A and B are shown apart, each in its own frame.
Chain A
Amino acid sequence: MAVCIAVIAKENYPLYIRSVPTQNELKFHYTVHTSLDVVEEKISAVGKAMADQRELYLGLLYPTEDYKVYGYVTNSKVKFVIVVDSSNTSLRDNEIRSMFRKLHNSFTDVMCNPFYNPGDPIQSKAFDGIVSGMMVQPS
């Protein structure tokens, strides 16, 4: 399960970022922020070759001592970043993928809301709920 989930706008500023409340929130801000370097690199590397049938899932962006950072980019260049605990070895790549898919679906719902202004921070409760479901439950 994730310890931090972030949605980042096309212009690389956060639309939504949530981490396990017990942890140091700022640390995850830094982690996600620096992971954008890798995301950008990955996008630009693939970008020219086959922009159309590009895989949305970027895979493991980089491992740190304590965490693994995974990335996902929608076709509209909105980025999702999920940070999981390195000690959590039971998590398979497929599960991460499905988490991203779920996140993407929920994000699409948010975008469909006529009262949501694209580019504004996401405040949807439904989205919050989905994210909460994917987060590590603080015990």
Chain B
Amino acid sequence: MSVPDYMQCAEDHQTVLVVVQPVGIVPEDQFFKIYKRIASVSQVSIRDSQRLLYIRYRHHYLPENNEWGDFQTHRKVVGLIAVTTCGSSKEWPQTSERFHGQKEVYGSTLYDSRLLVFGLQGEIAEQQRTDVAFYLNFDECPDVEKRVEDFVESIFIVLESKRLDRATDKSGDKIPLLCVPFEKKDFVGLDTDSRHYKKRCQGRMRKHVGDLCLQAGMLQDALVHYHMAVELLRGVNDFLWLGAALEGLCSASVIFHYPGGTAGKTAGRKPNISQPADAGKRHRPGAQEVLIDPGALTSNGISADTSTEIGRAKNCLSPEDIIEKYKEAISYYGKYKNAGVIELEACVKAVRVLAIQKRAMEASEFLQNAVYINLGQLSEEEKIQRYSILSELYDLIGFHRKSAFFKRVAAMQCVAPTIPEPGWRACYKLLLETLPGYSLSLDPKDFNKGTHRGWAAVQMRLLHELVYASRRMGNPGLSVRHLSFLLQTMLDFLSDQEKKEVTQSLENYTSKCPGGMEVITLPDGLKLPPVPFTKLPIVRSVKLLNLPVSLRPHKVKGLLGQNMSTASPFIYSPIIMHNRGEERCKKIDFQWVQGDVCEVQLMVYNPMPYELRVENMGLLTSGVEFESLPAALSLPAESGLYPVTLVGVPRTAGNITVNGYHTSVFGVTSDCLLESLPGVKTGGCLVEVIPSLPRLQLSTSLPRSAHTPQPMSKEELSSTVSVQLFNGETQQLTITLENIGTEDIETLELTSKTVTTKEKVFGEFLSWELEEALSHLPLKPGQSVTLTVNIKVKLDFSGQENLLQDLNDDGISVTGLPISSPLRQVLKPRAETKPVSSESGKAEYNHIKTLEAVLNFKYSGGAGKVEGYYRDLSLGVHVDVEPSVFFTRVSTLPATRRGGEREAMRLRRYR
């Protein structure tokens, strides 16, 4: 016997084995449909006695295993149900022949057999035969179950007669020696008359009778027989059979203690069977019903009288003893190399019992032992089966890690290099089952809470194996998903070299099958959630940017909808402080405008040891139709914080929420939602988008300048013009206003504001005629209108006290002192004396005065106007005013000199 049945459990000892096999050509699915119906008859209560017969069905059973039937009768095939199809009566003899051939295989042990024939019509089918049933087709066989029950009853009759036969063997008959296949040659030439031999025969027979009693539903009798067998066999040191007797004792006790069965859910018994309390009662009547000849037993040299023992609970082992006896039995089995399968199966049975008793430690010892049982050369398939069952049993006793370990070993065995056709699919499936054991879920959300804590080394190994298996399965989508998961969750544990390798293979895979955000559903229903690369790059902060000043919308005051102070009647309430959780999504107090480019600034960094190329990075928004304009960026290795601006255009009005961003890295597209990102700073991500407004661009006839009027910041002005004028001069400034937006400009207002100066300005500095321009309204997109602004400067340059003195460089007092100085020195270098003039350039002369003003264009139109918004465009005007007349020198001549020189003035014009 070489193939263990890992699914065996203690209560299988009370079942009778029936093999159901197809004969000839039977469609597989039809056969299994019938098999299922037959197998549903797993217990039959026998008429006239209150006993239950349990049946174990197999559709495949090695005749080799059948040879161990004497050792443990539940291994013996006692019934055969053959299923066959037969088209015509001509085929019938052949079919019949085949059936008999099939019977031959198990012939030595069969009690009875049945043939189910499908498809045959005619006179043969009308015969009434007990061993053959005819059905028209596979769908019309309503009495299959009934047939099977009858069949089981007939088996019971044989079983019962055998039991009685064996139990009441007369002393005169020689008790035959039962033996297992490998013992046969050992007993050749043994003295069959020795006491020792006789005892051995008796012991083995007792054990056999115990088995039969157990199968026949007489638990108490079985216990008694097993007890006697143990004593007999112990006396003759027949260890293999002693082990079997002990195991029988254990099985019977387990059946008594755990009527629900030990096989777990998979092979659960019907719940209507007896409770432990009445188990004894139920068996007793059956036992009494059968006549036991006490005399026969005693005269046979077997001392105890079973009838007196019946019902005594002391025959039944206590739960602790069951384990002790199992241990003993297994140690006896262990003495025989050829009984490896028996030993292994006993271990498995004991573990199932221990699992029910919740004694995991001892169960693990049994399993540990089972691991070391050598069954000789196992085929790869058997190895897989063995590891899988070990894993299952470890799981049963709550050793999930150990279970995962063996499952992984089984998975690796599926694809061992010695296998010609590696089962990558099976390997992958098994690997997936190990995930819980390594406390690894495939949902990246579970890894968002700070640093990952787990068995990174083994988890990474497992993920690598999943990647590899899924690739070999020919499912690159899965490999990409697993590899992305590995990269995303285990990034902190990967060495630089590994990071490189992982990303390289990821790029390889994605070239065939790009990774996306869809949930991958496996055939067995497991869902693999998408893995967004939130760490490639890592985003530290997200900030929504306001529009440039010239494009910012303003609300017309006085209109309704001043949305302040409507939320609460209180100016301040501490309760608001508690709403911190919503902080992330609080509304930002500026607006975006429909149709205008809006910006969001992210601070990102690259944790990889090499350059990271991020493609197609854009914003994810909700609430408003938003056209994201993706960007591509390349981040240097281990970069510091790096600002990235993502832009987009809202296409409708309303409240827009920036939920996150999407990227494409290594060919994997990811949608990263801000709420699932730890440690991201945002200043709120909800912004109101107001309906579209027109856009105005202005150009002027005058050159631009870098000057900015003082109280204003540079951003506030769209542009500044600058001009130099002489005092009193007028200059025309032509402003061309062009509508570069998409909305009509419906209103235009122009105001000016002179930046406060100390200078006194005479007259109007800036003046314009707006009517002409307004007559062009509404201004269609692309159209332009010109507007002329007159710049007129009139300043007072007089009254500077020391002007004359300054100019009078003769040193001659202008106050009229009569100083005669014919030898006038020309031009003392003034530069030294006057600090003001020390400035270079134009400012050399401090006579230039500056006038600045801001021209403010308020315009509106389109849907935004309806909502009461307008835009503001400012033009700075910077005028340097020079005096039109300049006294460069003043000389005074004494008035006494007649006909002399007159006061001389030199005028100089600067240009």
Residue ranges of A at the interface with B (Cβ–Cβ < 8 Å): 9, 11-14, 25-26, 29-30, 33-34, 36-38, 41-42, 45, 62-63, 119
Contacts and interface: CB of A to CB of B under 8 A. Distances in A.
Contact of B461 (A26, A34, A45): A26
Contacts of B399: 34, 37-38, 41
A15 to B, nearest CB: 9
A115 B194 CA distance: 82
Contacts of A62: 364, 368
Nearest to B455: A33
The winner among B399, B438, B439, B455 for most chain A CB atoms within 10 A is B455
B455 A13 contact: yes
Contacts of B368: 62-63
A26 B453 contact: no
Given A37-B400, A45-B361, A119-B453, 4 more contacts: A13-B453, A25-B457, A29-B458, A34-B401
A37 B457 contact: no
Interface of B: 360-361, 364, 368, 394, 398-402, 405, 438-439, 453-455, 457-458, 461
A38 B367 CA distance: 13
A100 B399 CA distance: 24
Contacts of B400: 37
B446 to A, nearest CB: 13
B361 A38 contact: yes
Contacts of B364: 37-38, 41, 62
A92 B360 CA distance: 26
Given A14-B455, A41-B399, A30 B361 contact: no
Contacts of A119: 453
Contacts of A38: 361, 364, 399
Top 10 A-B residue pairs of the complex, sorted by shortest distance between their CB atoms: A37-B399, A13-B453, A29-B457, A34-B402, A41-B360, A34-B401, A37-B401, A13-B454, A34-B405, A29-B458
Nearest to A12: B439
B458 A30 contact: yes
Nearest to B453: A13
B461 A42 contact: no
A33 B457 CA distance: 11
A33 B453 contact: no
Contacts of A11: 453
A26 B361 contact: no
The winner among A9, A12, A33 for most chain B CB atoms within 10 A is A33
Contacts of A9: 453
Contacts of A63: 368
Nearest to B400: A37
B358 to A, nearest CB: 10
A30 B399 CA distance: 14
Nearest to B363: A41
Given A30-B405, A30-B458, A62-B364, A41 B453 contact: no
B458 A26 contact: yes
A62 to B, nearest CB: 6
A33 B394 CA distance: 14
A62 B364 CA distance: 9
Given A9-B453, A41-B360, A36 B401 contact: yes
A45 B358 CA distance: 10
Contacts of A33: 401, 405, 438, 455, 458
A37 B361 CA distance: 10
23 contacts: A11-B453, A12-B439, A13-B454, A25-B457, A29-B455, A30-B458, A33-B401, A33-B455, A34-B402, A34-B405, A37-B364, A37-B394, A37-B401, A37-B402, A38-B361, A38-B364, A41-B361, A41-B364, A41-B399, A42-B361, A45-B361, A62-B368, A63-B368
A127 B901 CA distance: 107
Nearest to B450: A119
Nearest to B406: A34
For the complex, would chain A's binding face be called helix, strand, loop or mixed by DSSP majority? Answer: helix
Contacts of B454: 13
Contacts of B360: 41
Contacts of B361: 38, 41-42, 45
B840 to A, nearest CB: 60
A118 to B, nearest CB: 12
A38 B365 CA distance: 11
Contacts of B398: 37, 41
A119 B451 CA distance: 10
Given A38-B364, A45-B361, A26 B405 contact: no
A14 B452 CA distance: 11
Nearest to B452: A13
A69 B454 CA distance: 20
A12 B458 CA distance: 14
Nearest to A9: B453
Contacts of B455: 13-14, 29, 33
Contacts of A30: 405, 458
Contacts of B405: 30, 33-34
B292 to A, nearest CB: 45
A130 B297 CA distance: 72
Contacts of A34: 399, 401-402, 405
Contacts of A14: 455
A12 B368 CA distance: 23
Contacts of B461: 26
A47 B364 CA distance: 19
A29 B493 CA distance: 15
A86 to B, nearest CB: 13
Contacts of A12: 439
A63 to B, nearest CB: 8
Contacts of B394: 37
B519 to A, nearest CB: 28
A13 B401 CA distance: 12
A42 B360 CA distance: 9
B824 to A, nearest CB: 86
A119 B453 CA distance: 9
The winner among A29, A30, A62, A63 for most chain B CB atoms within 10 A is A30
A14 B455 CA distance: 6
A9 B453 CA distance: 10
A123 B399 CA distance: 30
Nearest to B409: A30
Contacts of A13: 453-455
Nearest to A45: B361
A30 to B, nearest CB: 6
Nearest to B458: A29
Contact of A26 (B401, B438, B439, B457): B457
Contacts of B402: 34, 37
Nearest to A120: B451
A41 B359 CA distance: 9
A43 to B, nearest CB: 11
A109 to B, nearest CB: 22
A70 to B, nearest CB: 15
B269 to A, nearest CB: 28
A52 to B, nearest CB: 22
A40 B722 CA distance: 83
A16 to B, nearest CB: 13
B882 to A, nearest CB: 70
A37 B404 CA distance: 11
Nearest to A14: B455
A122 to B, nearest CB: 13
B355 to A, nearest CB: 12
Nearest to B451: A120
A26 B394 CA distance: 21
A129 to B, nearest CB: 23
The winner among A9, A34, A37 for most chain B CB atoms within 10 A is A37
Contacts of A37: 364, 394, 398-402
B488 to A, nearest CB: 19
A29 B457 CA distance: 7
A84 to B, nearest CB: 17
Nearest to B457: A29
Nearest to B365: A62
Contacts of B453: 9, 11, 13, 119
A25 B394 CA distance: 24
